[in-house]
Amino acid sequence: MKNGAYMMKLNTYDLTQGGILKKLLLVAVPIMGTQLMQMAYNLTDMFWLGRTPNSVTAVAASGLAGMFLWFGASLMMMGRMGAEIGTSQSLGRSDIDAARGYAQNSGRIALILGIVYGGILLGLARPLVGLLQVKDPVVLGSASAYLRIVAFGIPLTYLSAAITGAFNGAGNSRLSFLANSVGLLVNMIFDPLMILGLGWGVGGAAIATVTAQGVVLLLFVW
């Protein structure tokens, strides 16, 4: 990776100096905004899928697939929290090398977890959706197709989350917020184009999501 992702560029918000409230808000508000943006991906998909001819089945398929993505978020947080805690503690001790090591190791762990979980979704999409007792074959097929496409973006999402954690731990949560904002904007632009413009429906929503996730990772490692 290029140095941009792991150089631990510090922001100006040193929480150990001066008043705490203002500096804490400057760090915490972007973090909360980033979390809200993760929720907005699925909501954006549902908004545009609700305007397709088969809106009921399309929204149902997206919602079902989203359950497995939210489940996978718990695995994703392992890499992110490890990066946040490790880098923040190391930087608090002024140990830049240790901070960089925590960030890099968290990124590797996140990538491995992402590949494993993405592989599970790719290979077992239909059986997993079937566990939810879906009776409609169209919904079952659409949800499975959505998961198979999104599975390719899971490693990207996990790695981006670990990098986000590293920057948050370094006090530079604004950079993470900006990168994820661009990703959400890409998703919001691509969703109507692929879902309605190209008529790809649920598959288009999945492709738009993966594209947006790729853009976020690209911004981090640029």
Whether 46 is covered by a domain: the verdict is yes
pLDDT digits (tens, 9 = 90+) for 152-193: 999 999 999 899 888 888 877 788 888 888 999 999 999 999
Question: 3-state class of 195 per DSSP?
Answer: helix
What's the mean per-residue pLDDT of the chain? 84
Distances 105 to 46, 120, 161 between C-alpha atoms, Å: 35, 23, 13
Q: Are 175 and 163 in contact (CB under 8 A)?
A: no
Whether 9 is covered by a domain: the verdict is no
Predicted local distance difference test score (pLDDT) of residue 10:
45
Whether 27 is covered by a domain: the verdict is yes
Backbone angles phi, psi at 132, to 5 degrees: -85, 10
Cα dihedral sign for 144, 153, 75, 192? negative
DSSP 205: H
Whether 6 is covered by a domain: the verdict is no
Predicted local distance difference test score (pLDDT) of residue 7:
44
Domain that holds residue 181: 18-221
Structural domains in the chain (count): 1
Question: 3-state class of 88 per DSSP?
Answer: helix
Distances 167 to 9, 16, 171, 172, 173 between C-alpha atoms, Å: 8, 17, 6, 5, 6
Interacting residues of 146 by C-beta distance below 8 A, sequence separation 6+: 61, 62, 65, 202, 203, 205, 206
Predicted local distance difference test score (pLDDT) of residue 70:
83
Predicted local distance difference test score (pLDDT) of residue 6:
43
Q: Which residues of the chain have pLDDT under 50?
A: 1-12
Predicted local distance difference test score (pLDDT) of residue 156:
93
Whether 178 is covered by a domain: the verdict is yes
Query: Beta-carbon neighbour count of residue 150 at 10 Å?
Result: 27
Full-model pTM:
0.83
Q: Rounded distance, CA 34 to CA 102, Å?
A: 21
Whether 100 is covered by a domain: the verdict is yes
Whether 105 is covered by a domain: the verdict is yes
Torsion of CA 24, 37, 105, 121, to 10 degrees: 150
**Helix intervals (H) in the chain:** 20-49, 55-92, 96-130, 137-151, 154-169, 173-192, 201-221
Predicted local distance difference test score (pLDDT) of residue 19:
63
Predicted local distance difference test score (pLDDT) of residue 74:
81
Whether 121 is covered by a domain: the verdict is yes
Predicted local distance difference test score (pLDDT) of residue 148:
95
Backbone angles phi, psi at 84, to 5 degrees: -60, -50
Predicted local distance difference test score (pLDDT) of residue 221:
81
Q: Rounded distance, CA 122 to CA 150, Å?
A: 8
Predicted local distance difference test score (pLDDT) of residue 13:
52
